[in-house]
Amino acid sequence: MNNDYLIRLIPLAPYYFGQELNHELGNRNNYFQHSASFPQQSALLGLIRHQILLQHDLIPLEKGNNSSEALKLIGGRSFNAFPEDIPDDNKPNDFGKIVGLSPVFLTNASGKKFFLRDREIVWHDKDKRLYLLEVAGSKYPYKLILSEKNEDFISKFPFVSYLAGTADDLTQPDQLTEAETVLKKAIFTGIHKKWGICEHDDSYFRRTYRHLAHTEVIRKEKEYPGMEFRKKILADEWGFGFIVRFSSDFDFSEQERTVFFGKERSVFLMKCTRISENDFRSNISDYLGNSQIRVNNGLVKAVLLSGTFLTGDQMDEVKRHCALILSEKERFRNIRSNISKHTYQRPDKSPVAIHMIRRGSVFFIQEEFKTQFEEIICDDHAVFRQIGYNYMMFQ
Protein backbone atom coordinates (compact mmCIF):
# COMPACT_ATOMS: atom_id res chain seq x y z
CA MET A 1 0.00 0.00 0.00
CA ASN A 2 1.30 3.43 -0.94
CA ASN A 3 1.89 5.94 1.81
CA ASP A 4 2.29 9.30 0.09
CA TYR A 5 2.06 12.82 1.51
CA LEU A 6 1.81 16.15 -0.26
CA ILE A 7 4.07 18.66 1.51
CA ARG A 8 3.47 22.37 0.94
CA LEU A 9 5.91 25.08 2.04
CA ILE A 10 4.37 28.56 1.96
CA PRO A 11 6.97 31.32 2.54
CA LEU A 12 5.92 33.76 5.25
CA ALA A 13 8.73 36.20 4.40
CA PRO A 14 11.42 36.57 1.70
CA TYR A 15 13.47 33.38 1.52
CA TYR A 16 17.05 32.54 0.62
CA PHE A 17 18.19 29.23 -0.86
CA GLY A 18 21.93 28.75 -1.23
CA GLN A 19 23.52 27.95 -4.56
CA GLU A 20 27.06 27.63 -5.84
CA LEU A 21 27.63 30.15 -8.62
CA ASN A 22 30.61 30.05 -10.97
CA HIS A 23 31.52 33.70 -10.36
CA GLU A 24 31.82 32.97 -6.63
CA LEU A 25 34.46 30.26 -7.04
CA GLY A 26 37.57 31.06 -5.05
CA ASN A 27 35.85 33.94 -3.26
CA ARG A 28 34.59 32.92 0.18
CA ASN A 29 33.50 36.47 0.98
CA ASN A 30 31.36 37.35 -2.00
CA TYR A 31 29.49 40.60 -1.42
CA PHE A 32 26.82 40.01 -4.08
CA GLN A 33 24.80 36.91 -3.30
CA HIS A 34 21.67 35.63 -5.02
CA SER A 35 19.11 33.17 -3.76
CA ALA A 36 18.12 30.26 -5.97
CA SER A 37 14.46 30.29 -7.00
CA PHE A 38 13.89 26.68 -5.94
CA PRO A 39 15.28 24.61 -3.05
CA GLN A 40 17.60 21.69 -3.72
CA GLN A 41 16.08 18.21 -3.42
CA SER A 42 18.76 17.24 -0.89
CA ALA A 43 17.65 20.19 1.29
CA LEU A 44 14.03 19.00 1.15
CA LEU A 45 15.20 15.55 2.22
CA GLY A 46 17.05 17.11 5.17
CA LEU A 47 13.92 19.06 6.14
CA ILE A 48 11.79 15.91 6.23
CA ARG A 49 14.43 13.97 8.20
CA HIS A 50 14.58 16.80 10.76
CA GLN A 51 10.79 16.92 11.06
CA ILE A 52 10.69 13.18 11.73
CA LEU A 53 13.19 13.59 14.57
CA LEU A 54 11.11 16.43 16.03
CA GLN A 55 7.94 14.37 15.69
CA HIS A 56 9.50 11.59 17.78
CA ASP A 57 11.12 13.94 20.31
CA LEU A 58 14.66 12.95 19.29
CA ILE A 59 16.11 16.48 19.24
CA PRO A 60 18.77 17.06 20.48
CA LEU A 61 20.24 13.96 18.95
CA GLU A 62 22.57 12.14 21.31
CA LYS A 63 24.44 8.85 21.19
CA GLY A 64 22.98 5.68 22.69
CA ASN A 65 19.34 4.62 22.42
CA ASN A 66 18.40 8.00 21.02
CA SER A 67 20.77 7.57 18.09
CA SER A 68 19.69 3.96 17.54
CA GLU A 69 16.04 4.94 17.21
CA ALA A 70 16.91 7.80 14.86
CA LEU A 71 18.84 5.37 12.67
CA LYS A 72 15.65 3.35 12.11
CA LEU A 73 13.59 6.44 11.32
CA ILE A 74 15.84 8.51 9.05
CA GLY A 75 18.87 6.34 8.25
CA GLY A 76 22.45 6.97 9.27
CA ARG A 77 23.61 9.39 6.58
CA SER A 78 22.41 12.30 4.50
CA PHE A 79 22.24 12.06 0.70
CA ASN A 80 25.37 10.82 -1.04
CA ALA A 81 25.51 11.08 -4.82
CA PHE A 82 27.97 8.20 -5.07
CA PRO A 83 27.36 5.84 -2.11
CA GLU A 84 29.61 3.21 -3.66
CA ASP A 85 32.54 5.48 -2.82
CA ILE A 86 31.92 5.29 0.94
CA PRO A 87 34.64 2.94 2.19
CA ASP A 88 33.04 1.78 5.44
CA ASP A 89 29.69 0.45 4.24
CA ASN A 90 29.36 0.71 0.42
CA LYS A 91 25.54 0.59 0.66
CA PRO A 92 22.85 2.49 -1.28
CA ASN A 93 21.35 5.55 0.36
CA ASP A 94 19.01 4.47 3.16
CA PHE A 95 16.78 7.13 4.69
CA GLY A 96 14.88 4.92 7.12
CA LYS A 97 11.13 5.41 6.74
CA ILE A 98 11.57 7.75 3.75
CA VAL A 99 11.22 5.85 0.48
CA GLY A 100 11.51 8.73 -1.97
CA LEU A 101 10.69 12.31 -2.96
CA SER A 102 9.18 13.83 -6.09
CA PRO A 103 10.69 16.90 -7.79
CA VAL A 104 9.74 20.17 -6.14
CA PHE A 105 7.13 22.26 -7.94
CA LEU A 106 5.14 25.42 -7.32
CA THR A 107 1.54 25.23 -6.22
CA ASN A 108 -1.22 27.53 -5.04
CA ALA A 109 -4.65 27.39 -3.44
CA SER A 110 -6.09 25.78 -6.58
CA GLY A 111 -3.99 22.67 -5.94
CA LYS A 112 -2.44 22.75 -9.42
CA LYS A 113 1.22 21.82 -9.76
CA PHE A 114 3.43 24.19 -11.78
CA PHE A 115 6.89 23.48 -13.21
CA LEU A 116 9.38 26.00 -14.57
CA ARG A 117 9.30 26.16 -18.38
CA ASP A 118 11.93 28.74 -19.31
CA ARG A 119 13.52 27.37 -22.50
CA GLU A 120 10.50 26.92 -24.77
CA ILE A 121 8.88 30.28 -25.55
CA VAL A 122 10.76 33.17 -27.15
CA TRP A 123 9.95 36.81 -27.80
CA HIS A 124 10.41 37.90 -31.41
CA ASP A 125 11.12 41.62 -31.25
CA LYS A 126 10.47 42.28 -34.95
CA ASP A 127 7.10 40.53 -34.98
CA LYS A 128 6.26 41.75 -31.46
CA ARG A 129 4.86 38.38 -30.48
CA LEU A 130 5.72 35.13 -28.73
CA TYR A 131 6.71 31.92 -30.47
CA LEU A 132 6.77 28.40 -29.09
CA LEU A 133 9.92 26.50 -29.96
CA GLU A 134 8.92 23.83 -32.44
CA VAL A 135 10.83 22.02 -35.12
CA ALA A 136 8.24 22.80 -37.79
CA GLY A 137 6.44 26.05 -38.52
CA SER A 138 6.49 28.75 -41.16
CA LYS A 139 7.56 31.51 -38.76
CA TYR A 140 9.79 29.47 -36.49
CA PRO A 141 12.89 31.62 -35.85
CA TYR A 142 15.13 28.60 -35.07
CA LYS A 143 14.29 26.71 -38.24
CA LEU A 144 17.58 27.48 -40.00
CA ILE A 145 19.60 26.77 -36.89
CA LEU A 146 17.96 23.38 -36.42
CA SER A 147 18.58 22.35 -40.01
CA GLU A 148 22.26 23.26 -39.64
CA LYS A 149 22.48 21.48 -36.26
CA ASN A 150 24.53 24.27 -34.74
CA GLU A 151 25.26 23.20 -31.15
CA ASP A 152 27.05 26.47 -30.30
CA PHE A 153 24.07 28.64 -31.18
CA ILE A 154 23.32 31.45 -28.73
CA SER A 155 19.77 32.72 -29.02
CA LYS A 156 19.15 36.16 -30.51
CA PHE A 157 15.60 35.86 -29.22
CA PRO A 158 15.13 36.18 -25.44
CA PHE A 159 13.36 33.37 -23.62
CA VAL A 160 10.24 34.15 -21.62
CA SER A 161 9.80 32.02 -18.49
CA TYR A 162 6.44 30.48 -17.67
CA LEU A 163 5.01 28.26 -14.96
CA ALA A 164 2.95 25.42 -16.38
CA GLY A 165 1.57 22.03 -15.52
CA THR A 166 2.69 18.94 -17.37
CA ALA A 167 -0.62 18.80 -19.27
CA ASP A 168 -0.75 22.51 -20.19
CA ASP A 169 -0.71 23.58 -23.83
CA LEU A 170 2.21 25.98 -24.32
CA THR A 171 0.81 27.11 -27.68
CA GLN A 172 -1.50 29.37 -25.68
CA PRO A 173 0.93 31.47 -23.59
CA ASP A 174 -1.81 33.99 -22.76
CA GLN A 175 -3.43 31.26 -20.66
CA LEU A 176 -0.22 30.46 -18.77
CA THR A 177 1.32 32.07 -15.68
CA GLU A 178 4.42 34.12 -16.40
CA ALA A 179 7.16 33.18 -13.93
CA GLU A 180 8.16 36.72 -13.02
CA THR A 181 4.62 37.44 -11.77
CA VAL A 182 5.14 34.86 -9.01
CA LEU A 183 8.91 34.40 -8.49
CA LYS A 184 9.91 37.86 -7.28
CA LYS A 185 13.13 39.36 -5.92
CA ALA A 186 13.69 41.19 -2.65
CA ILE A 187 17.05 42.99 -2.43
CA PHE A 188 18.63 43.83 0.92
CA THR A 189 21.75 45.99 1.16
CA GLY A 190 24.04 47.01 3.98
CA ILE A 191 23.77 43.66 5.73
CA HIS A 192 26.80 43.16 8.00
CA LYS A 193 28.65 39.89 8.14
CA LYS A 194 28.15 37.98 11.35
CA TRP A 195 30.74 35.27 11.15
CA GLY A 196 34.46 34.61 10.87
CA ILE A 197 37.22 37.21 10.94
CA CYS A 198 34.92 39.76 9.26
CA GLU A 199 32.33 39.59 12.02
CA HIS A 200 32.25 43.36 12.51
CA ASP A 201 32.88 44.33 8.90
CA ASP A 202 30.69 47.29 7.91
CA SER A 203 31.43 46.92 4.21
CA TYR A 204 28.73 47.18 1.57
CA PHE A 205 26.91 43.89 1.28
CA ARG A 206 24.03 43.04 -1.05
CA ARG A 207 21.92 39.92 -0.92
CA THR A 208 19.05 39.11 -3.28
CA TYR A 209 16.28 37.14 -1.60
CA ARG A 210 13.21 35.66 -3.28
CA HIS A 211 9.55 35.69 -2.40
CA LEU A 212 6.42 34.23 -3.92
CA ALA A 213 3.67 36.73 -4.51
CA HIS A 214 0.89 36.94 -7.03
CA THR A 215 -0.01 40.62 -7.25
CA GLU A 216 -2.45 42.70 -9.23
CA VAL A 217 -2.45 46.39 -10.10
CA ILE A 218 -4.86 48.49 -8.04
CA ARG A 219 -3.76 51.96 -9.17
CA LYS A 220 -2.36 52.34 -12.63
CA GLU A 221 0.41 54.63 -13.78
CA LYS A 222 -2.07 56.53 -15.96
CA GLU A 223 -3.85 57.76 -12.85
CA TYR A 224 -0.64 58.29 -10.85
CA PRO A 225 2.21 59.23 -13.24
CA GLY A 226 5.48 57.53 -12.38
CA MET A 227 3.89 55.18 -9.84
CA GLU A 228 2.10 51.87 -9.89
CA PHE A 229 0.43 50.38 -6.84
CA ARG A 230 -0.08 46.64 -6.50
CA LYS A 231 -1.59 44.39 -3.88
CA LYS A 232 -0.62 40.85 -2.93
CA ILE A 233 -3.31 38.20 -3.32
CA LEU A 234 -2.85 36.31 -0.05
CA ALA A 235 -5.66 33.88 -0.80
CA ASP A 236 -3.61 32.40 -3.66
CA GLU A 237 -1.18 30.83 -1.16
CA TRP A 238 1.67 30.37 -3.60
CA GLY A 239 4.29 28.00 -2.23
CA PHE A 240 6.53 25.04 -2.96
CA GLY A 241 5.19 21.52 -3.08
CA PHE A 242 6.62 18.04 -3.28
CA ILE A 243 5.44 14.50 -2.61
CA VAL A 244 7.10 12.21 -0.10
CA ARG A 245 6.61 8.47 -0.02
CA PHE A 246 7.08 6.82 3.37
CA SER A 247 7.16 3.13 4.24
CA SER A 248 3.71 1.66 4.86
CA ASP A 249 4.25 1.34 8.63
CA PHE A 250 4.94 5.05 9.20
CA ASP A 251 2.56 7.95 9.85
CA PHE A 252 3.89 11.44 9.20
CA SER A 253 2.37 14.22 11.30
CA GLU A 254 -0.20 16.27 9.38
CA GLN A 255 -0.17 19.05 11.94
CA GLU A 256 0.29 22.47 10.37
CA ARG A 257 3.47 24.11 11.66
CA THR A 258 6.07 26.79 11.05
CA VAL A 259 9.51 25.61 9.94
CA PHE A 260 12.87 27.29 9.38
CA PHE A 261 14.39 26.24 6.10
CA GLY A 262 17.16 27.46 3.78
CA LYS A 263 20.54 29.08 4.11
CA GLU A 264 19.24 32.05 6.15
CA ARG A 265 16.70 30.04 8.18
CA SER A 266 13.82 31.41 6.15
CA VAL A 267 10.34 31.01 7.63
CA PHE A 268 7.75 28.78 5.95
CA LEU A 269 4.30 27.51 6.84
CA MET A 270 4.36 23.73 6.37
CA LYS A 271 1.16 21.91 5.41
CA CYS A 272 1.10 18.12 5.11
CA THR A 273 -1.71 16.05 3.62
CA ARG A 274 -1.87 12.33 3.00
CA ILE A 275 -2.89 11.73 -0.61
CA SER A 276 -4.43 8.79 -2.40
CA GLU A 277 -3.42 9.56 -5.98
CA ASN A 278 -1.85 7.13 -8.41
CA ASP A 279 1.37 5.47 -7.37
CA PHE A 280 4.88 6.80 -7.85
CA ARG A 281 5.34 6.05 -11.53
CA SER A 282 8.59 6.13 -13.42
CA ASN A 283 7.62 9.23 -15.37
CA ILE A 284 6.32 12.11 -13.26
CA SER A 285 4.19 13.34 -16.16
CA ASP A 286 2.06 10.21 -15.68
CA TYR A 287 1.83 10.91 -11.97
CA LEU A 288 0.98 14.61 -12.14
CA GLY A 289 -1.01 14.73 -15.37
CA ASN A 290 -0.50 13.23 -18.81
CA SER A 291 1.01 15.33 -21.56
CA GLN A 292 0.55 14.91 -25.27
CA ILE A 293 3.68 13.72 -27.07
CA ARG A 294 4.12 15.33 -30.46
CA VAL A 295 6.53 14.32 -33.20
CA ASN A 296 7.70 16.97 -35.67
CA ASN A 297 10.13 16.18 -38.47
CA GLY A 298 11.09 12.97 -36.67
CA LEU A 299 11.98 14.81 -33.45
CA VAL A 300 10.45 14.66 -29.97
CA LYS A 301 10.79 17.40 -27.35
CA ALA A 302 11.94 16.35 -23.87
CA VAL A 303 11.80 18.75 -20.89
CA LEU A 304 13.67 18.28 -17.60
CA LEU A 305 11.39 18.80 -14.59
CA SER A 306 14.24 18.75 -12.08
CA GLY A 307 18.00 19.08 -11.91
CA THR A 308 19.53 16.12 -13.75
CA PHE A 309 22.88 14.35 -13.51
CA LEU A 310 24.47 12.69 -16.53
CA THR A 311 27.96 11.32 -16.96
CA GLY A 312 30.19 12.75 -19.68
CA ASP A 313 29.75 9.64 -21.84
CA GLN A 314 25.97 9.79 -21.46
CA MET A 315 25.89 13.45 -22.44
CA ASP A 316 27.96 12.70 -25.53
CA GLU A 317 25.52 9.95 -26.48
CA VAL A 318 22.56 12.29 -26.03
CA LYS A 319 24.20 14.97 -28.19
CA ARG A 320 24.64 12.51 -31.05
CA HIS A 321 20.85 12.03 -31.19
CA CYS A 322 19.72 15.63 -30.64
CA ALA A 323 18.94 18.31 -33.20
CA LEU A 324 19.18 21.01 -30.54
CA ILE A 325 19.80 21.26 -26.80
CA LEU A 326 18.73 24.35 -24.86
CA SER A 327 20.19 23.96 -21.39
CA GLU A 328 22.36 25.36 -18.63
CA LYS A 329 24.53 23.69 -16.03
CA GLU A 330 24.55 24.29 -12.29
CA ARG A 331 26.97 23.26 -9.58
CA PHE A 332 25.54 21.06 -6.84
CA ARG A 333 27.21 20.39 -3.49
CA ASN A 334 25.12 19.07 -0.61
CA ILE A 335 25.61 19.22 3.15
CA ARG A 336 26.76 15.94 4.69
CA SER A 337 25.67 14.57 8.05
CA ASN A 338 26.15 11.34 9.95
CA ILE A 339 24.07 10.64 13.07
CA SER A 340 26.84 8.51 14.57
CA LYS A 341 29.15 11.53 14.45
CA HIS A 342 26.64 14.23 15.30
CA THR A 343 28.05 17.67 16.04
CA TYR A 344 26.61 21.12 16.50
CA GLN A 345 29.33 22.88 14.53
CA ARG A 346 29.09 24.46 11.10
CA PRO A 347 27.65 21.93 8.57
CA ASP A 348 30.10 19.94 6.52
CA LYS A 349 29.73 20.24 2.73
CA SER A 350 30.59 17.59 0.19
CA PRO A 351 34.20 18.17 -0.97
CA VAL A 352 33.31 17.56 -4.62
CA ALA A 353 30.86 19.66 -6.64
CA ILE A 354 28.68 17.91 -9.22
CA HIS A 355 27.60 19.52 -12.46
CA MET A 356 23.86 19.11 -12.98
CA ILE A 357 21.68 20.11 -15.93
CA ARG A 358 19.17 22.74 -14.82
CA ARG A 359 15.44 22.17 -14.55
CA GLY A 360 13.56 23.45 -17.60
CA SER A 361 16.27 22.39 -20.06
CA VAL A 362 14.95 21.21 -23.42
CA PHE A 363 16.20 18.44 -25.74
CA PHE A 364 14.95 17.91 -29.31
CA ILE A 365 15.78 14.24 -29.74
CA GLN A 366 15.35 11.79 -32.60
CA GLU A 367 12.13 9.82 -32.25
CA GLU A 368 13.90 6.44 -32.38
CA PHE A 369 16.13 7.55 -29.47
CA LYS A 370 13.16 8.31 -27.18
CA THR A 371 13.20 5.06 -25.16
CA GLN A 372 16.98 5.08 -24.72
CA PHE A 373 16.91 8.76 -23.70
CA GLU A 374 14.40 8.02 -20.94
CA GLU A 375 16.53 5.13 -19.72
CA ILE A 376 19.63 7.32 -19.58
CA ILE A 377 17.86 10.09 -17.66
CA CYS A 378 15.74 7.96 -15.34
CA ASP A 379 16.74 4.33 -15.03
CA ASP A 380 20.52 4.77 -14.92
CA HIS A 381 20.48 7.14 -11.96
CA ALA A 382 18.25 5.62 -9.28
CA VAL A 383 20.31 7.27 -6.53
CA PHE A 384 19.42 10.75 -7.81
CA ARG A 385 15.82 9.85 -8.66
CA GLN A 386 15.23 8.60 -5.13
CA ILE A 387 15.20 12.17 -3.83
CA GLY A 388 13.61 13.88 -6.85
CA TYR A 389 16.41 14.55 -9.33
CA ASN A 390 16.52 13.17 -12.92
CA TYR A 391 12.84 13.57 -13.76
CA MET A 392 11.70 14.51 -17.24
CA MET A 393 8.72 14.48 -19.56
CA PHE A 394 8.07 14.29 -23.29
CA GLN A 395 5.83 16.87 -24.89
Give the least confident one: 70-79, 97-106, 130-139, 211-220: 130-139
In sequence order, what are the residues at sequence separation of 6 or more whose Cβ sits closer than 8 angstroms to the Cβ of residue 376? Answer: 310, 314, 317, 318
Pairing of strands 32-34, 206-212: parallel
Q: How many domains would you assign to the chain?
A: 1
Contact yes or no for 151/319 (Cβ under 8 A): yes
What was the pLDDT predicted at 97?
Answer: 94
Residue-range definition of the domain harbouring residue 242: 4-394
Element (H, E) at 371: helix 370-374
- Which whole-number Å values give the CA distances from 311 to 15, 343, 357, 382, in the listed order? 32, 34, 11, 14
Cα separation, 388 vs 391, in Å, equals: 7
DSSP letters, 122-186, are EEETTTTEEEE--SS-TT-TTHHHHHHT-TT---SS-B--EEE-TT--TT-GGGSEEGGGTEEEE
Q: How many CA atoms lie within 13 A of 195 on its CB side?
A: 5
22-74 confidence digits (pLDDT tens): 545 555 555 677 888 999 999 999 999 999 999 998 887 766 557 788 889 99
Sign of the Cα torsion 247, 252, 254, 258 reads negative
pTM > 0.85: yes or no: no
262: left (phi over 0), alpha (psi -120 to 50) or beta: left
Mean pLDDT of 213-224: 60
Cα separation, 175 vs 13, in Å, equals: 28
Task: Specify which of 23-37, 65-79, 121-135, 221-235 reaches the highest per-range mean pLDDT.
Answer: 65-79
256-266 confidence digits (pLDDT tens): 999 998 877 88
Q: Which residue has the higher pLDDT, 122 or 148?
A: 122
Residue 308 phi/psi, 5° resolution? -135, 135
Label residue 240 by pLDDT band (50, 70, 90). very high
